[in-house]
Amino acid sequence: MGTYTYPGVYIQEIESPVHTIASVATSITAFVGYTQSGIDNRAEHLYSFADYERVFGGLASDSELSYAVQQFFQNGGSEAYVVRVPKHGASYASSTFGGITLTVLSSGTWANGNLVADISYDNLDQTTVPTAFNLTITNLVDGTVEQFPGLSLNPARKDFAPTVVNDPDSGSQLVSVKVQSPAPTSPPARTGLVGNAITVASTLGSASKKLAVTGTFAVVKNSATATASNPLNLQALRVGQFLTFNGDTTNGVYTVTKLDATSGAVTLGAPFTGDDNPAATGNILQSTANGSYSLSLGVSSPATLSPLPIDVTVFADGSTIPQSLMGIAQALARALNTALQSKLPGSAATVSVATTTTDSRLRVVVMLPENPDAVITIGAPTGGGNNASTLLGLGTTANVAQYSLGTGHVFGSQTASVEGGDGTGLPQTGDLIGDELAFTGIYALEKVDLFNLLSIPDATRANPGDPSSLDSNIDPNAIYSAAISFCDARRAFLLVDPPPNVNTPAAAVDWISTQLNVQDRNAAAFFPRLRLPDPLNDYQLRTFAPSGVTSGVYARTDASRGVWKAPAGIDAQLMGVQSMVYKLTDAENGTLNPLGLNCFRNFPVYGSVLWGARTTVGADARADEWKYVPVRRLALFLEESLFRGTQWVVFEPNDEPLWASIRLNVEGFMNTLFRRGAFQGLTPQEAYFVKCDSTTTTQTDIDSGVVNILVGFAPLKPAEFVVIQIQQMNSQSAS
């Protein structure tokens, strides 16, 4: 209540009792099974089969799931989650260095020697953050590069390496990072060969007599001769900087007026002192090589690698030596690559300027074929002569060119590199079920906010080369038992595929009646298995579990008619299906349908269709209220929508004003569905009711903190049996 002091009009905003309840999605399908690539045991959100190809590598002949996802989108699906379950016994490539371990996210041998990590300190302030480093991950197979600049090993900082790299959304899609405990106090060693710190010149922010002093400088005035005893000490200059030079008794101040990126030449304005302006003319700073300068490029690990070592001429006698760090780096890179392409094709050298807030150094990285973690050495040329390594300040500090996962090598600062393995075969029963605490297998879906349908094509996987026998490493009942419990908890619906040996009506009767232990209102079973062209086998027909196609039909029906419409009938056409392992007759269908087994049929004109809409408790003998798929899925939809849409009720005062607001919002939601045709009945009173008052919530409930909301609906049940009665009539009865 406000305070009223002056006569006039006061405006007050009153909170509305309306809290709109939004309808949740009904056909987001989760797929769990083996894929040829991708991150293990992480649910990836997909909106098309192109997304699947990008994340999981596309169709694979040994991946039942890959075909199921394709069939889902082909039949009308629009949104899915896919969990990759790795092969049984598969292991992960890793590399350990500097107190951290990088482990690949996707198991198998594919990463061995193909996934490399680069460490640098460029542009980092290690005075403030002593453990700061830059991490770059490269997949040499497809060229994918991930960069994570400015990481640290301090667990208290937001740039702590595991926090950044292991983030499932913005972090790496290739590796995870683990830091040893206690955390190291220094960063991982830089990769490649890093030279000595380069002495920097005195660069002045402004020119005055007071600042024009001598010191240790990067370059010498005019044309100086470089010798082995006079190493090049260079400064990465910028146009507009002021320089002074030792040996200049006048303490002249020079202005950098031009930098030539190609030659490395630096143009300076004429010297001036005090506050005088520089003249328009300038001097070119250059060094000339006094003799030929070469170096030896070799390896210390592995011990031998032919044809290394090799001598590399960096500067020919009398050639101009660039007077900028970048110019020197470019010249050295050209020389190294020219020599490597001649002696060791496929190799590549990069030379960069490693700059931190305290110093600058040349950094050489040489990638050798099949040896990404080789340790390169640079030293005096084996053939004698002037030593370019000394001239360029390249000392003996060397490391692996790249930390490489899965090579098994312990080179340089890489203290371990564990090889990844492909395992002993496709995922088995335990792999598909997974571990609830570790969020693997089915339980990887715990991290998914919402999914409605669950398909596990590998749960009824056939033996390779024998499409009519079940893989001996698979127990469908064990998998489906775990899956249905999970679906019940998540208000999701399980699609149960028939095993490959269930290929006749008699076998189907035995399976649905005695073998299948999933008798649950949140599941539906199907028969027979379907045959579709296989793009990986010249489009020859191949037998598949039907849940991929079925989930797409469910999604298409939900989008066009609503979740209350049975996903069956002549509109439930099976896109891409050429035939079935068994073609049912009406009589055979009539045997299976009363048992709650949904059949696929093929009719003239309409083609292949889904011809059943019962849950696994839909057998006539059960007389269960959740007999029909659309009724059960509508109930799940209502439950999930109301669960999410009434969160605002929690901690509100539990009395009639709250109850009235609840009734208003829930009735509004139900009435919207009624107007869309979701319920049976001609009026809202016939179609649904919402009760929340003193009759549903007693004083005892109020004292216990409970508010009870009772929602009822009249479901639309599908017309399974259309009976047309025909009788004769004579002319007298007609009159």
Tens-place pLDDT, residues 146-186? 999 999 999 999 999 999 999 999 999 999 999 999 999 99
List phi, psi (to 5°) of 162. Answer: -60, -35
Enter the tokens of residue 141: 């197979």
Mean pLDDT of the chain, nearest integer: 88
Spatial separation of the C-alpha atoms in residues 511 and 524, rounded to whole Å? 13
Higher pLDDT, 296 or 45: 45
Whether residue 233 is predicted with pLDDT greater than 70 in this model: the reply is no
Percent of the chain beyond pLDDT 70?
87
> In this model, does residue 212 exceed pLDDT 50?
no
pLDDT of residue 505: 98
Residue 358 CB partners (closer than 8 Å, separation 6+): 126, 127, 197
**Which residues partner with 255 through β-bridges?**
242
How many other C-beta atoms are found inside a 10 Å radius of the C-beta of residue 661?
18
pLDDT band at 397 (very low <50, low <70, confident <90, very high): confident
pLDDT confidence of 89, banded at 50, 70, 90? very high
Name the residue with higher pLDDT: 642 or 230: 642
Q: Following DSSP, what letter does each residue of 493-537 receive, concatenated?
A: EEEEPPPTT--SHHHHHHIIIII-----TTEEEEES-EEEEEGGG
Residue 635 has pLDDT above 60, yes or no: yes
Residue range 330-351: mean pLDDT, rounded = 91
Average pLDDT rounded to a whole number, residues 272-297: 59
Query: Quick one: pLDDT at residue 676?
Result: 96
Distance of CA 112 to the CA centre of its chain: 20
pLDDT, residue 249, reads 58
pLDDT of residue 243: 65
**For range 476-504, the mean pLDDT:** 98
Checking if the pLDDT of 278 tops 60, the result is no
Query: pLDDT value at position 283?
Result: 44
Could you tell me the CA-to-CA distances from 444 to 34, 181, 281, 562, 644 in Å, in that order? 14, 28, 71, 29, 22
Q: Calculate mean pLDDT across residues 306-321.
A: 85
How many whole angstroms separate alpha carbon 589 and alpha carbon 601? 9
Is a pLDDT exceeding 50 seen at residue 698?
Answer: yes
The 10s digit of each residue's pLDDT in 707-722 is 999 999 999 999 888 8
455 class by beta-carbon count within 10 Å (0-12 exposed, 13-18 middle, 19+ buried): buried
Given a cut of 60, is residue 230 above it in pLDDT? no
Indicate if the pLDDT at residue 217 is higher than 70.
no
Task: Classify burial at 391, counting beta carbons within 10 Å of its beta carbon; exposed 0-12, middle 13-18, buried 19 or more.
Answer: buried
What is the per-residue pLDDT across 547-606, written as a single tens digit (0 to 9) for each?
A: 999 999 999 999 999 999 999 999 999 999 999 999 999 999 999 999 999 999 999 999
- Which domains occur in the chain, in start order? 29-87+426-631 (3.40.50.11780), 94-191 (no CATH), 293-401 (no CATH), 655-735 (no CATH)
Q: Phi then psi for 667, rounded to 5 degrees?
A: -65, -35
Share of the chain above pLDDT 90, in %: 70
- On the question of pLDDT at 649 being above 60, the answer is yes
Choose between 246 and 712: higher pLDDT.
712
| Per-residue confidence (pLDDT) for residue 260, from 0 to 100 | 67
| Average of per-residue pLDDT across 622-634 | 97
Q: Which of 317-326, 413-422, 538-547 has the lowest mean pLDDT?
A: 317-326
Give me the half-sphere count of Cα atoms (radius 13 Å) on the Cβ side of residue 224: 17
Averaged pLDDT for residues 436-444 = 98
Q: Determine the average pLDDT of the residues in 526-551.
A: 98
Query: Which residue has better confidence, 305 or 373?
Result: 373
